[in-house]
Structure 1
């Protein structure tokens, strides 16, 4: 898509975003999610922790679209290829989404990105727009929910293994387990440890119990789960889950799930969720333990090289 970037509707203005815009951005995303999937998944803490990562410069990697003083749309590019956008439903159909797509591709080209992709609910207006603009589907993601009142079957850990709250000494090993696992199928640079800290202990509202680790008899971290509680207190969400490659197929991932959801219930949640995508091959495992697909997203991307 190298044609001329269309103009924004008359009267709208743009500027780079700043950390002080986190609430306005989360409000725009929430309005779009409510329209597209019937529920709100975003929390301001998601934006704050992303923008606090030392590797990310929000000012040079973002743009906000304003109608007067009100933010009505935004886009940003994190790393080399992860884009996020949102447009207020009341401002759809005016060419703003198309303008944002061109803006992201231009930014990607300027920093040498080989590809720029973004998640959109399958079948949503954003999905249809990106398809029309020539964006291909890179992968499919599923948000799975454990039905209220249901529980994941317990599975015994290997002898001498335990699941517990991560301590300060576990943070670097936990980061290593997560990155080693995710980089088996994700084509990106290794996440800096400081970015990991921003997304965990630096996240607004984080409590030590949110980070769970499975350790072997020698105390080595072999599995990790990051479980968060939604702003309304109703849902426990496993944001990250990984087991060291040489320790898989021993029940450790299932034990981490059981523990994570149980700890979340102790903190008042009624349901539990997680997401996975087609790169991991993990969907059947989660369905086998009783989780059901709640909604489906696709990552649509444009190759720049």
Structure 2
């Protein structure tokens, strides 16, 4: 399985989109077409199956798949492919802005060349969009997927780590610094939260998300949990946020985005936001806190000091786009 690695910010800009459909060369008995909203549940089942095989549990939520298909600037008609075979949905792929690809192949459909065919499609689509390189994230337990991208000359660009922190007892929230207040996310916080998150992520990501794209991938998701998402304020100014998901059928408390404004770092606010989120999840019956961090953020050591440990990881592999 080639996989996204869950909840990662996209990379890079793009050239002028030609808006054409790139063909996929598949084995006999298989067909392809663009994905639609009607495919969301089937795609979710496929991705969850691959996650269960690698990790013994599913993490991807159906609303995450739907968010991908509906994000602004993304055209499923030319930026996605679903592959059907004799037993139903066999694989799918998408490419965001010609830079970031995800490819998933059903566990019982491997070894037939579907992953290779979809990687060819992603590269051709990236060339059509006009980007000079594109990236593919591969779960580090997916040895076959890693071997495939390396054999094609992909190089390692970055690593993403999923961190976990067990909650065996109710977390204690530390005292807040003087002048700082914390409360749950409210509808009027959306614009300020977007600015805070994108300003913080600007330090390592290469493309800011518009408000519309950020909202589609975050607060518009059905699993977004505003009541579990603590927001830190200095007076009326938002200075920190931990935006959380309440994933269905999961005992995990999931922080999707965490940021502290640069001029308020080093004051323990990240620790406090984590503690408030942990306490809220604990009171809902969750017994583990989960979040992802990217190697370019330099935040891994901080999270480890807070007691979190690496549960799984994905590697972003990058390849120059070749003309097709």
Change (3 A) 1:205 1:273: closer
Q: Is the 8 A contact 1:152 1:289 kept in 2?
A: no
Q: Give 1:144's aligned residue.
A: 163
Change (3 A) 1:237 1:281: same
1:278 maps to 2:289: no
Deviations 1:13-67 (A, max 9, x none): 0001111111111111111112223321111011112222222222221001111
Change (3 A) 1:204 1:154: closer
CA distance, structure 1, for counterparts of residue 170 and residue 28 of structure 2: 53
Q: TM-score, normalised by structure 2?
A: 0.87
- Counterpart selection for 2:153 from 134, 154, 157: 134
In structure 2, the residue corresponding to 1:290 is in which secondary structure? coil
Q: Is the 8 A contact 2:103 2:118 kept in 1?
A: yes
Deviations 1:73-108 (A, max 9, x none): 010012341211100111111111111111001101
Q: TM-score, normalised by structure 1?
A: 0.92
Q: Is the 8 A contact 2:223 2:247 kept in 1?
A: no
**Paired positions, count:** 299
CA distance, structure 2, for counterparts of residue 294 and residue 111 of structure 1: 35
Unaligned runs of 5+ in 1: none
CA distance, structure 1, for counterparts of residue 169 and residue 152 of structure 2: 42
Q: Give 1:42's aligned residue.
A: 60
Unaligned runs of 5+ in 2: 1-22
CA distance, structure 2, for counterparts of residue 52 and residue 7 of structure 1: 26
Q: Give 1:256's aligned residue.
A: 273
1:111-260 → structure 2 map (5 Å cutoff):
111-124=129-142, 125-149=144-168, 154-188=173-207, 190-217=208-235, 219-260=236-277
Name the Cα RMSD after superposition. 1.9
Change (3 A) 1:289 1:207: closer
